Homo-oligomer: A and B are copies of this chain.
Amino acid sequence: MKQVTALSPSPDLIAYYASAATDVYFLRARTTLKGAGLDAVVAMDFFAGRTGVLCGRAEAERLLHGVLQEGDEAWGLPEGESFGEKETVLRIRAPYSRFGVFETAILGMLSSCSGWATAAREVVEAAAGRRVISFGARHVHPLIGPTMEYSAVVGGCAGCATPLGAQLASLQGASGTMPHAMVLLFGDTVKAALAFDQHMPGDVMRIVLVDTFKDEAEESLRVAEALGKRLRGVRLDTPSERGGVTVELVKEVRARLDAAGFGHVGIFVSGGLTAARIREFEAAKCPIHSYGVGMSIAAAPPIAFTADIKEIEGKPMTKRGRIPGALPNPRLQRFI
């Protein structure tokens, strides 16, 4: 499988998609311009209509390295930087024929990835220093799941759920506890916890999901009694049908664990968390160890980026509705 690993997503795969998943009218423009013998060095600026956190620019850079040539220019803001409304985050100055067809791919990389990174940033800021793990891989198509997780890490998440995502984000490994399905198969949370403890390598944290069969507070105590000091934490993932995880539930579980002498057991929370919900937990000074966040990051809409030609052969020029000329932006750094 080694050669396939290189595809995750490999530069070749990206280059293929960048060509074949481009808007067809760029291909038609290429044909028409070539037929008319027309080409020119243009400056093209990429910007968004709102503020956000830039992501996807690193991947765009890898693509452009295979596309641009000696003497061409590419400038950009660093990956993970905040950008302003209509601020140029990427500028290419090169013959149009060389990169025109990649406009779709570059816009798409910036749009999707910046959307996720921006949402992650908001969630992470809400958590005020506590760890946020991106648990939303299941909410997006698997082809793009790892890219979403990479973006979440760029936005500030401390971990993510899939091995491929962790690899893309240069993390040590993926994060996770145990699924409800496993607990159900064991038929009892304590049995599941003991088996998990027995069969997992030492570097996997013993965090046990405690809402499958019984009341969370009761189950937390049963699990803590069974695993003792080896128990790193319990995960609360109460379904909305049972009111979801509330501030009061966390405080009660904490109080009951402490009263029983299990002060070392952390509380991990997941299930329908949003930045607003997390702010509530933090405002209530809830004793939470880390947050697992799914839809709030994974379902973040892409941020619409636009690419405009601003100069042709060094002369300011643009379409109606936009201001001609590639304005200097001191934050841009040349990378090609």
Contacts and interface: CB of A to CB of B under 8 A. Distances in A.
Interface in A32-51: 32-36, 38-40, 42, 44
Interface string A44-84: 10000000000010000000000000000000000000000
Interface string A227-243: 00000000000111111
A178 interface: yes
Contacts of A4: 12-13, 16
Contacts of A56: 141
A218 interface: yes
A138 B111 contact: yes
A155 B22 CA distance: 21
Given A38-B185, A105-B142, 4 more contacts: A109-B141, A138-B305, A211-B320, A243-B244
A140 B112 contact: yes
B241 A248 contact: yes
Contact of A138 (B104, B143, B178, B295): B104
A123 B176 CA distance: 38
A285 interface: no
A215 to B, nearest CB: 4
